[in-house]
């Protein structure tokens, strides 16, 4: 019998985030011993419920640091895309970005956690974007012969490339650039919709 202790679960996840919030702490340097120590918990309790350090970090991250990246539905697809990306980039430019990039690093070594990570972190946003792009195709904002999934990745993936390679800092303007390029109207701004229409009718 003996049910799982919710108190321990919370202390462990809290301790994990507390430790990770230190400036020079990384997921790599974080140890299960340190988590147990900080949480006032036996190591066994961690090993009993999580298969790896990365799994604990994913859980901790998901429960407390859920990224808010809303997808608006009452505006044009283009606006919704841009504001979604802008919000995502804004968060990745700060401390959560460091954590996300380290989580992506960890899943290269831990297939079980990769699955968890995809399910709880990635797929949600991934399919939301595809749906959004599909809506753009359906309502004529985007050309009819596009493949929504591929286009979504083209818009989305550069954000992760910047995050992971760090070849350029992540700046909010990237959101605009990406959407602009996707709509093939560099810097055309709000006039775009009309133009898009014109273009469609022209086609």
Contacts to DNA by CB under 7 A: 1-5, 7-9, 11, 29, 31-34, 40-45, 47-49, 52-53
Contact indicator for 60, 17 with CB cutoff of 8 Å: yes
CA torsion sign, 55 to 56 to 61 to 64? positive
For a copy of itself, the binding residue among 122, 125, 128, 135 (CB under 8 A) is 122
Q: Determine if 3 is a binding residue for a copy of itself (CB under 8 A).
A: no
Cβ closest to DNA, residue 109 vs residue 127? 109
- Continuous segment of H or E residues that includes residue 46: helix 43-49
Q: How far is CA 189 from CA 46, 78, 123, 180, in A?
A: 52, 10, 30, 8
Neighbour tally for 81: CB within 10 Å:
27
Dihedral, CA of residue 166, residue 172, residue 173 and residue 176, to nearest 10: 110
Residues 20-39 that bind a copy of itself (CB under 8 A): 26, 28
93 binds, among a copy of itself, DNA, none (CB under 5 to 8 A by kind): none
By three-state DSSP, how is residue 24 classified? Answer: coil
Q: Under a CB-based contact definition with an 8 Å cutoff, are residues 154 and 160 in contact? A: no
CB of 24 to DNA, least distance (A): 12
Nearer to a copy of itself, 88 or 107 (CB): 107
Q: How many CA atoms lie within 13 Å of 191's alpha carbon, on the beta-carbon side? A: 5
157 is written with which tokens? 């993936």
Q: Which of 16, 69, 102, 116 binds a copy of itself (CB under 8 A)?
A: 102
| Residue of 6, 24, 74, 145 interacting with a copy of itself (CB under 8 A) | 145
Q: Which does 43 bind (CB under 5 to 8 A by kind): a copy of itself, DNA, none?
A: DNA
Binder of residue 178, out of a copy of itself, DNA, none (CB less than 5 to 8 A by kind): a copy of itself
Token duo for residue 91: 């968060």
Contacting positions for a copy of itself (CB under 8 A): 26, 28, 101-102, 104-109, 114, 118, 122-123, 126, 143-147, 150-151, 153-158, 160-161, 164-167, 174, 177-178, 180-186, 188-194, 196, 198-200, 202-203
């Amino acid at each position: 019998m003996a049910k799982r202790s919710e108190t321990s679960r919370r202390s462990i996840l809290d301790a994990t985030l507390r430790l990770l919030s230190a400036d020079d702490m990384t997921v790599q340097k974080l140890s299960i011993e340190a988590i147990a120590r900080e949480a006032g918990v036996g190591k066994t309790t961690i090993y009993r419920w999580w298969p790896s350090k990365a799994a604990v970090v994913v859980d901790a991250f998901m429960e407390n640091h859920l990224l808010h990246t809303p997808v608006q539905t009452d505006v044009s697809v283009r606006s919704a895309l841009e504001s979604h990306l802008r919000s995502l980039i804004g968060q990745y430019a700060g401390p959560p970005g460091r954590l996300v990039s380290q989580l992506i690093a960890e899943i290269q070594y831990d297939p079980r956690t990769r699955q968890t990570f995809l399910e709880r972190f990635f797929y949600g946003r991934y399919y939301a974007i595809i749906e959004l792009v599909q809506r753009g195709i359906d309502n004529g904002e985007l050309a009819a012969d596009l493949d929504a999934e591929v286009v979504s990745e083209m818009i989305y993936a550069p954000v992760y490339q910047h995050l992971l390679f760090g070849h350029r800092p992540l700046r909010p303007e990237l959101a605009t650039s990406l959407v602009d390029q996707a709509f093939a109207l560099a810097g055309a701004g709000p006039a775009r919709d009309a133009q898009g229409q014109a273009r469609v009718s022209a086609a």
